[in-house]
Amino acid sequence: MTNPIQELLQQTGPGLMSPSAYDTSWIARLGDIAPDLSKPAMEWLSENQLPDGSWGAPAPMYYHDRVISTLAAMLALTRTGKRTQDKRQIEKGLIALEQINTNATKGLMADPNGATIGFELIVPTLVAEAESIGILKQHKERILGRLERLRRIKLEKMQGLKINRYVTMAFSAEMAGSDKQDMLDVDLLQEDNGSVGHSPSASAYFATYIRPGDPRSLQYLRQVSAADGSVPDLLPFEIYEKSWILWNLALVDSLDQETLALFQPHLDHLQAAWNNQKGVSLSKGYSVPDGDNTCITFDLLTRFNRPANIQGLLSFEENDHFRCYDLEANPSISVNIHALIALRSAGYMPDHPTTLKILHYLEHNRTNYGYWFDKWHISPFYTTAHAILACINYSDDLIKPAIDWMISSQRSDGSWGFYLPTAEETAYCMQALCILKKNGRKVPPGVLLKAVEWLKFNSQPPYPLFWIGKGLYAGELVVRSAILSALELAKGL
């Protein structure tokens, strides 16, 4: 009989991610530069317009994702499309965008995690382009137009800074539009694989407007394009995928030796990628280290008795929190939770100044109901479940309101879901509650039993897009690892 955990470990590779309407729109723009890429991307866009005329994640409705995806798709169809059908789809897109704009002040404010990556810098360039070719009328005093002022202020703060492969802004290089291309350090922008920031959209922008027809960019785009013409938000991201799959599965302490043997090549990869001064990036070939993957990788290497100098982790420490990236506008709560997990692995006690700063940061940034939101994932169940795991027998008072909220939030069918019932969120809550119960805490009878029964019948992909990139996305194998971990943890409880 096939062991699903072992099967998952054998599938893990460069990264498996859902298609991105936003990024695929940039591929569709390639037109005569690369028709072998552009034509299937155009077909994908035509086939994946949502019933209301917009593009983006079908559910839940996340305004930032819908705005940026719909604008990008309409521009692609206008620039490259020649069919009557393309014109009809643009018209439907305009109606959808008008509806989104009508509710934009309320809608954009209603996205509790805030904007998608680069939103306030990229959207004004898309709006300006859409106005210049007649898709949109003047938006200067409307919500999308007002973003232009925010972009201008942010770019003024970056004056004198060149965007190259060593800064996070490379991932959103298309924010330079047609007016700020002098900010791009063109000769130092591409990674070794030809991409700009491992981003299909940034790479397509580069191959269209910066170095038209650039062969290295196009080679990268051909490697990451699916047979149906779509591309993901990001690729490759093998460190991100490997570390999170192993971390989820390692929560289970009853894995057999055959399964643990399958961990070893992935741990070898993570160990080889570890930099004692900088930690790790989301991929071995990506130039920008990040705090989240560094925290999780450090925790794994330490737990499996692999050498990892803690200086790589501490390089992300700030005065009152841990950062995810240099020059980030706002910190990530989940990164600080994962830093706490890593510091516990290193033997730091709750009263150590470094751990105290994180505990204070978490205390000051939770909602009135005791749970947490984060900028990388739209569900508070993700962030809150990890906070519970980080604080069991370490800072129990901090997580008591969160535990009460989580238990009371279970749906009548046994699932969890902030917007709609999902296997992913149910798995996160099960992980936290199973490990709480294992540590002797009371979990009301029936909570986990109902959850297991629901999850068994609702565990298969496709999964809703809950992770925040330039649009919303799902890392299918990472989500699958959380589900398998939750079901395994629940056995025997």
* 376-414 tens-digit pLDDT: 999 999 999 999 999 999 999 999 999 999 999 999 999
Measured at the CA of 214, the angle between CA 82 and CA 134, to 5 degrees, comes to 35
265, 124: one domain: no
Q: Are 316 and 294 in contact (CB under 8 A)?
A: yes
Distance CA 378, CA 361 (A): 20
Does a structural domain hold residue 7? no
pLDDT-derived band at 235, boundaries 50, 70, 90: very high
Check whether 46 has a pLDDT greater than 80.
yes
Q: Which of 55, 82, 51 is nearest to 69 (CA)?
A: 55
- Band of residue 154 on the pLDDT scale cut at 50, 70, 90: confident
Q: How confident is the model at residue 9 (pLDDT cuts 50, 70, 90)?
A: very high
Are both 339 and 469 inside the same structural domain?
yes
Q: Which of 100-114, 371-385, 478-492 has the lowest mean pLDDT?
A: 100-114
Q: Identify the CA nearest to 233 among candidates 486, 428, 56.
A: 56
Neighbours of 47 (CB within 10 A): 10
Q: How confident is the model at residue 364 (pLDDT cuts 50, 70, 90)?
A: very high
Letter for the amino acid at 286?
Answer: Y
**Which of residues 224, 249, 276 is at a domain's end?**
224
| Longest Cα separation, the chain | 67
As to burial, measured by CB atoms within 10 angstroms (0-12 exposed, 13-18 middle, 19+ buried), residue 450 is middle
Res 140: pLDDT: 52
Of residues 123 and 156, more confidence is placed in 123
Both 197 and 271 in a single domain? no
Q: pLDDT tier at 493 (50, 70, 90 boundaries)?
A: confident
SS in 3 state form for 221-263? HHHHCCCCCCCCCCCCCHHHHHHHHHHHHHCCCCCCHHHHHHH
Distance CA 101, CA 116 (A): 17
Instruction: Give the pLDDT band of residue 153 (cuts 50, 70, 90).
Output: confident
- Per the CB < 8 A criterion, the answer to whether 455 and 487 are in contact is yes
Rounded to whole angstroms, the Cα distance separating 336 from 316 reads 10
Q: Rounded to whole angstroms, how far apart are CA atoms 37 and 303?
A: 44
Average pLDDT over residues 191-218: 98
- The backbone torsions φ and ψ at residue 322, rounded to the nearest 5 degrees and listed phi first, read -105, 135
Q: Which amino acid is at 84?
A: T
Q: Tell me: the pLDDT tens digits for 336-349?
A: 999 999 999 999 99
The pLDDT value recorded for residue 138 is: 61
User: What is the Cα–Cα distance from 487 to 493, expressed in whole angstroms?
Assistant: 11
Closest residue by Cα to residue 7 from 361, 462, 363, 484: 484
Q: Which of 168, 190, 224 is the last residue of a domain?
A: 224
- Of 112-121, 246-255, 434-443, 481-490, the poorest mean pLDDT is in 112-121
Query: Which long-range CB contacts under 8 A does 350-359 form with residues at least 24 apart?
Result: 350/394, 350/395, 354/314, 354/317, 357/319, 357/320, 357/321, 358/321, 358/322, 359/395, 359/398
Please tell me which residue, 109 or 226, carries the higher pLDDT value. 226
269 and 162, same domain (yes or no):
no
Please determine, for residue 176, whether its predicted confidence score (pLDDT) is greater than 80: yes
Is 259 part of any domain? Answer: yes
Average pLDDT, integer, range 238-262: 97
Closest CA to 483 of 452, 447, 459, 457: 459
- Does residue 8 lie in a domain region? no
Percentage of the chain modeled with pLDDT above 90: 81
Answer whether residue 231 is part of any domain.
no
Predicted pLDDT at 218:
98
Number of H helices and E strands in the chain, helices first, is: 21, 2
- Which residue, 372, 309, 375, 368, is CA-closest to 342? 309
pLDDT tens sequence across 84-110: 787 889 889 888 887 776 655 566 666
Q: What is the mean pLDDT of residues 290-301?
A: 98
14 lies in a domain? no
- Long-range Cβ contact pairs of 347-352 (< 8 A, separation 24 or more): 350/394, 350/395
Do 156 and 273 share a domain, yes or no?
no
Q: Which of 174, 191, 224 is the C-terminal boundary of a domain?
A: 224
**Which tops the pLDDT comparison, 174 or 158?**
174
Q: Is residue 45 part of a domain?
A: yes
- The answer to which of 26-30, 82-86, 472-476 has the lowest mean pLDDT is 82-86
Structural domain for 144, as ranges = 21-224
Residues 353, 243, single domain; the answer is yes
Q: What pLDDT does residue 139 have?
A: 57
Q: What CATH number is attached to the domain comprising 197?
A: 1.50.10.160
The residues that bridge with 377 in the sheet, in sequence order, are: 467
More confident residue, 91 or 271: 271
Q: What is the CATH number of the domain that holds 341?
A: 1.50.10.20
| Domain shared by 56 and 181, yes or no | yes
Q: Is 336 exposed, middle or buried (0-12, 13-18, 19+ CB in 10 A)?
A: buried
- pTM confidence score: 0.95
SS3 376: coil
SS3 392: coil
What residues contact 270, with CB distance under 8 A and at least 6 apart?
A: 239, 242, 243, 246, 280, 297, 300, 301, 306
Verify that 200 and 273 share a domain, yes or no: no
**Same-domain pairing of 111 and 257:** no
Q: Are residues 283 and 307 in the same domain?
A: yes
Tell me how many domains the chain contains. 2
Nearest in space to 479 (alpha carbons), one of 457, 456, 463? 463
Task: Show the 3-state SS of 429-491.
Answer: HHHHHHHHHHCCCCCCCCHHHHHHHHHHCCCCCCCCCCEECCCEECEHHHHHHHHHHHHHHHC
User: 199 in helix, strand or coil?
Assistant: strand
To the nearest whole number, what is the mean pLDDT of the chain?
93
Same domain, 217 and 272: no
Kindly state whether residue 213 falls inside one of the protein's structural domains. yes
CB-count burial class (<10 Å; 0-12, 13-18, 19+) for 424 = buried
From CA 55, how far away is CA 268, in angstroms rounded? 40
The reply to whether 11 falls in a domain is: no
Rounded to an integer, the average pLDDT of 280-286 is 96
For residues 244 and 274, membership in a common domain is answered with yes
Q: How many CB atoms lie within 10 A of CB 209?
A: 15
